[in-house]
């Protein structure tokens, strides 16, 4: 059984993802935000039903889906409301996309660890700061800019290959329904 503190941590960890999912189901952002808030209240009331942290994501998606459907039923008079069947379709696709995005992220993290330290350092330096210029990295590493761009290109190619292989492996082993892009 999940404790209240664990629930709060899980909700905070997944809130942006749940908000994104709700936005795929609702035509307006304020409605999507309302759906997430209402789903959170409903989840809080049913916290005793959640048995493990691992099942939180799918459990929360179910609450968001049904909260969105209830909100749509209440708004049926409006022309801007999606039909229930469209929401179901969007919901299914949204869950699949979220699962794929999670798998891609896990593959990226794993593949980054497999890169040689020099390439991993370059990728990290280049992508972790929004204002980082290759010239600044070249100066810090005492290398030329052109060479660093080539090294970054090789690192990207290695990551692309590794991630593709990891996703194919995941698809065949764990999740036959997981389709890579």
Please indicate, yes or no, if residue 68 is contained in any of the structural domains.
yes
Give the pLDDT of the chain (181 residues) as one tens digit per residue: 788 899 999 999 999 999 999 998 888 899 999 999 999 999 999 998 888 888 899 999 999 999 999 888 887 665 556 777 878 888 888 888 888 888 898 999 999 999 999 999 999 988 887 667 888 889 888 999 999 999 999 999 999 999 999 999 888 876 555 555 5
Q: Residues, the chain, total? A: 181
Last residue of a domain, one of 32, 47, 82: 82
Domain region containing 5: 1-82
List the CATH number of the domain containing 143: 1.10.10.10
Domain co-membership, 74 together with 131: no
The pLDDT score that the predictor gives to residue 77 is 62
Domain co-membership, 59 together with 1: yes
The pLDDT score that the predictor gives to residue 163 is 93
Q: Which residue is it, tokens 């204002």?
A: 131
């Amino acid at each position: 059984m999940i404790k209240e503190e664990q629930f709060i941590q899980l909700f905070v960890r997944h809130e942006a993802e749940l908000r994104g999912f709700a936005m795929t189901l609702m035509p307006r952002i304020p409605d999507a935000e309302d759906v997430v808030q209402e789903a959170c209240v409903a989840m809080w009331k049913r916290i005793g039903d959640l048995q493990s942290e691992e099942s939180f994501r799918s459990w929360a998606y179910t609450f968001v889906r049904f909260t969105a459907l209830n909100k749509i039923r209440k708004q049926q008079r409006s022309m801007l409301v999606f039909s229930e069947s469209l929401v179901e379709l969007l919901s299914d696709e949204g869950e699949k996309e979220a699962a794929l995005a999670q798998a891609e992220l896990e593959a990226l993290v794993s593949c980054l660890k497999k890169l040689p330290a020099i390439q991993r350092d370059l990728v990290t330096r280049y992508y972790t700061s929004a204002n980082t210029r290759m010239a600044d990295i070249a100066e810090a590493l005492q290398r030329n800019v052109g060479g660093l761009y080539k090294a970054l290109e090789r690192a990207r190619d290695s990551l692309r290959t590794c991630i593709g292989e990891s996703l194919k492996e995941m698809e065949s082993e764990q999740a036959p329904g997981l389709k890579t892009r």
